[in-house]
Amino acid sequence: CKDQPKLYRLNANNEFIFIKDLKMNEKGKINATGGTQKFWEEKHAKFIKSLFDEGYRLRYSGAMVSDINQ
């Protein structure tokens, strides 16, 4: 894909400098399902269970920034 993510750094002159192209994994290892499970539809609950059955683990710190940047 030509539109892959890129890493930039803000320098002392407030300019973003390109650092490198980033490579995203095809498949992840974590999920952040959160939410109140008692209100989930059955289809959604089965999907979330399937993630754990496939070996995904739960990720939730309560802070979006740290969750996204794991």
For the chain, the structural domain boundaries read 6-68
pLDDT at 52: 87
- pLDDT of the residue at 53: 93
User: pTM (2 decimals)?
Assistant: 0.47
Q: Count of alpha carbons within 13 Å of 69, Cβ hemisphere only? A: 5
Q: What is the pLDDT of residue 62?
A: 62
pLDDT in tens, the chain (70 residues): 567 889 999 999 999 999 999 988 888 777 777 777 888 899 999 998 998 899 888 776 666 665 565 5
